[in-house]
Amino acid sequence: MKQLLQEYADYNVWANEIIISFIKQLSPEQLNKEQLSSFTTIRKTAEHTAGAEQNWLKRISSNLNQENKAISSEDISSLLQFWIDQSKQFAAIIKDIDESKLNQVIPYKSLKGIPFENELYKIIMHVMNHSTYHRGQLVTMLRGVGFTSLSSTDLIGFYRL
């Protein structure tokens, strides 16, 4: 299981780096253009995705002693660096963890304060899947601001490297 999770986390870093490379090319107008999506701008979608990875890292870090930084979205470069740092931190957690700990049950609270618990491997799978979902939205939003030639972030593309 550890090898599969490591591949998925490495894929997440790779795919996020591709999306981030396109976002870096946007003007402030393109970043903040209102569009129909879960989060109404590319900036808000990037902030949400980075913030979600951070929230999950905080939830699991109390059990794994990982360092977390505060999100900074004052300028887009800082936000995008923060996002990729969070993704790399997930990959590092998996690389460094003993496989037996992947079944460890992690108690946490939702953003609404509701208590839950899940095995660590399920949390990691959720976070990677969540990022994939929002990357798909970002591809559509990028097309909405004029990008027509986007590189694929499909998992099979990662495996073809």
Domain ranges (residues) in the chain: 2-159
What is the pLDDT tens value at each position of the chain, 161 positions in all?
999 999 999 999 999 999 999 999 999 999 999 998 889 999 999 999 999 999 999 999 865 544 445 565 668 999 999 999 999 999 999 999 999 999 999 999 888 989 999 999 999 999 999 999 999 999 999 999 998 888 889 999 999 98
- pLDDT (0 to 100) of residue 70: 52
Distance in Å from the first CA to the final CA of the chain: 21
Helix (H) or strand (E) holding 112: none
**Amino acid 106: pLDDT:** 94
- Report helix, strand or coil for 7: helix
> Which residue has 């913030």 as its token pair?
51
How confident is the model at residue 111, as a pLDDT?
A: 86
b/e code 127-139 from CB counts within 10 Å (16+ = b) = bbebbbebbebbb
Task: Locate 160 and state its tokens.
Answer: 């073809």
In this prediction, residue 72 carries a pLDDT of: 53
What superfamily in CATH does domain 2-159 come from?
A: dinb family like domain (1.20.120.450)
